[in-house]
Amino acid sequence: MLDALIIASLIMPGLVDLTTLKALRLLKLLSLLKLGRCSAALGMIGRVVRARRDERTMMAVIVVVLVLLSATALYDAKAARVE
């Protein structure tokens, strides 16, 4: 919402006065600084995801095998019912 108002003020200069525009830009800067507090937590999540790469790969292989086995079983059951 804030970005749209800033862009609109650039397109139509008389829409918002300069002091209001500066205040809105300051609010935008403050909201970006709030995001900086989460960067440590996001970094920790990234490290955990990289550390558990082997477990995720093994789980993906197991899921693919189970899906293929269940699809084959359903195909055979349907083919046996048709005959």
Does a structural domain hold residue 44?
A: no
Is the same domain home to 30 and 57? no
List b or e across 11-24, with b for residues whose CB sees 16 or more CB atoms inside 10 angstroms: eeeeebeeeebeeb
d(CA 49, CA 15): 47
Does a structural domain hold residue 46?
A: no
d(CA 16, CA 8): 9
What percent of the chain has a predicted confidence (pLDDT) above 70? 77
Query: Mean pLDDT of all residues in the chain?
Result: 82
Does a structural domain hold residue 67?
A: yes
- pLDDT at residue 28 in the model: 75
- pLDDT at residue 23 in the model: 78
- pLDDT at residue 2 in the model: 62
d(CA 63, CA 72): 14
Is the same domain home to 8 and 32? yes
Does a structural domain hold residue 47?
A: no
Here the tokens at position 19 are 């002091």
Does a structural domain hold residue 42?
A: no
Of 46 and 1, more confident:
46
What range does the domain containing 16 cover? 2-37
Does a structural domain hold residue 77?
A: yes
Long-range CB contacts (< 8 A, 24+ apart) of 35-42? Answer: none
pLDDT beyond 80 at 72: yes
Is the same domain home to 7 and 32? yes
Does a structural domain hold residue 26?
A: yes
Q: Count of domains in the chain?
A: 2
Among 9-18, 64-73, 74-83, the minimum mean pLDDT is found in 9-18
